[in-house]
Structure 1
Amino acid sequence: MKDDSQSDTSSVLRLNIGGKKFWTTIDTMTHREPDSMLAAMFSGRHTLSQDPHKGYVFVDRDGTHFRHILNWLRDGVVPTLEEAEYTELLREAEYYQLLGLIDGIQDVLSKRKEDDELRTELTRTDIIKCIQSEKVRFRGVNLSGIDLSKLDLSFVDFSYACLKNVFFSRANLQCAKFRDVDAEGSIFHNANLRECEFTGANLRGALLAGACLQSANLQDACLVDCSFCEADLRSAHLQNADLINANLEGANLEGANLKGAKLNNANLKGANLQRAYMRHVDLRDTDLEGARLDGANLLGAIR
């Protein structure tokens, strides 16, 4: 016998999936995947097994992942899960004939496989072997935590790589490319970074004390909480860089371009800012004690 309430697509629907209880609507079950088994079950054309006392429609399937199925039907978003869980959810999606969800899960798994292939684990020895050849590129590679100190890595392309907590101390990185890298917490102490490109890089909390960054490009980089103590940043490009809470005590920024940079709460004690271009720089709560500002362009700076 059909339940009359099932003819109302906005009506509340109570489900018991293998012992787990869910509330939804018939519209949710039928709208996104109209050709699925679920849509057919609640189209009103079929008699369903129902608890007469509590009004729950019973489906004899494991209910562990059914909430993900409901969220897919509501929002069309594939959940973020571990690979083993995706395998289980895929099995349920296939049972319920949810073709859109099946395609979505397969796309996610395919993307993860591609990312894993990019994140090949390399050792310091592997790196040394690689840099002995010409045109070295580590674009998109995961080098997290590796010790690359004191190596000659000049002109190497690290763009889009994961370089979290990498040790580059005293390394020669002249003209290396770090475009859009994630180098949070990395150590560049006393490294040669002259003319390097860090455009859009995440260097939050990195240590660059004593490093040579002369003419380096750090535009739009996240440099929050970085240490540039005594660093050489002459003629560096720091347009729109985020230097909030950065320590630039004693740094040489002569002729550097800091247009639009965020320097609030930064430490610039004793820094050389002669002839620096600092238009529209945010200097709120910045410590400029002893800083040299001769010839600096501060037009529009926020103080």
Structure 2
Amino acid sequence: MMRHSDLSSLIRLNIGGKKFCTTIDTLTCREPDSMLAAMFSGRHTVCQDAEKGYVFVDRDGKQFRHILNWLRDGVVPTLTDSDYSELIREAEYYQLLGLIEGINSILNKRKDDEDSCAELTRTDIIKCIQSERVRFRGIDLSGLDLSKLDLSFVDFSFACLKNVFFSRANLHCAKFRDVDAEGSIFHNATLRECEFTGANLRGALLAGANLQSANLQDACLIGCSFCGANLRSAHLQNADLTDANLEGANLEGANLKVKERKLPGFS
């Protein structure tokens, strides 16, 4: 084990077998709240191979070069949609929220430029939510940026919400029954008392979201990130939480009766 005081500014990393050389400043300055910044800021100790001098992290080395370049110059790389999906997964692990938002901005612009199949635009949504009762039941809104909007009490049931960006949106009491929201971003969104029964949220990012008293019964939550999320009194009966990340989530009073599955982190 070594401490920050023993480290030089030069850091050697072994990421899943691929080796990199960088500096403490690169790993800590651009995203100071990230896992990488925490590892090398001096607040924690890190494990280093005493003979070879490398800090080992068991993650995808192919994508880590893009992460390093982002930390160095703040530019999101130009990649295919499938490569972006892999990079978002790694950025989520390292808690690089700036990179995640940058990737989603590019993907949303790409969808707009290619006349995406979404039936409504962000402007259309803003006009609609000025009405008292708003329903988008069964509508295809895939790829839209709906971040920071007040969408409380809106009914999205049965809609296609793939890769929709709901970051910091107010979705209090919104209905998402049987929606397909695979890969959507709900980072820091307000989702109190929302209805997600039967929803497909595979791979969705819900880090920091407020899901207090939300109903997630029978939902597909495979690979979802709930890091730091508020799940107090949430209903999770029969939800599929395979490979879900619940690190730092508040599960006080949550109903965790999961049929024929073991909840990650619980025995």
With the length of structure 1 as denominator, give the TM-score of the two structures: 0.48
Letter in 2 for 1:212: N
Query: Quick check: 1:210–1:228 contact (8 Å CA) kept in 2?
Result: yes
Query: Quick check: 1:243–1:261 contact (8 Å CA) kept in 2?
Result: no
Moved over 6 A (4+): none
Is 1:242 matched up with 2:240? yes
CA distance in 1, matches of 2:158, 2:249: 28
Query: Quick check: 1:190–1:212 contact (8 Å CA) kept in 2?
Result: yes
Deviation at 1:232, TM superposition (A): 0.0
CA distance in 1, matches of 2:215, 2:118: 28
Query: Quick check: 2:213–2:232 contact (8 Å CA) kept in 1?
Result: yes
Match of 1:153 in 2: 151
Secondary structure of the 1:128 match is helix
Deviation at 1:121, TM superposition (A): 1.4
Is 1:282 matched up with 2:267? no
Larger Rg: 1
CA distance in 2, matches of 1:175, 1:261: 26
Q: 1:189 to 1:196 in 2, by over 3 A?
A: same
Deviation at 1:212, TM superposition (A): 0.1
Q: How does 1:136-151 map to 2 (within 5 A)?
A: 136-151=134-149
Cα deviations by residue, 1:187-232 (Å, 9 ceiling, x for unpaired)? 0000000000000000000000000000000000000000000000
Cα deviations by residue, 1:25-49 (Å, 9 ceiling, x for unpaired)? xxxxxxxxxxxxxxxxxxxxxxxxx
Deviation at 1:261, TM superposition (A): 4.9
Unaligned 5+ segments in structure 2 are 1-116
Letter in 2 for 1:236: A
Deviation at 1:287, TM superposition (A): 3.4
Is 1:187 matched up with 2:185? yes
Query: Quick check: 2:219–2:239 contact (8 Å CA) kept in 1?
Result: yes
Cα deviations by residue, 1:137-183 (Å, 9 ceiling, x for unpaired)? 00000000000000000000000000000000000000000000000
Q: How does 1:23-38 map to 2 (within 5 A)?
A: none
Deviation at 1:120, TM superposition (A): 6.4
Structure with the greater relative contact order (CA < 8 A, sep ≥ 6): 1 or 2?
A: 2
Match of 1:223 in 2: 221
CA distance in 2, matches of 1:145, 1:126: 14
Deviation at 1:258, TM superposition (A): 1.0
Q: 1:139 to 1:177 in 2, by over 3 A?
A: same
Deviation at 1:260, TM superposition (A): 2.1
The root-mean-square deviation of aligned C-alpha atoms, in Å, is 1.4
CA distance in 2, matches of 1:234, 1:126: 34
Match of 1:273 in 2: none
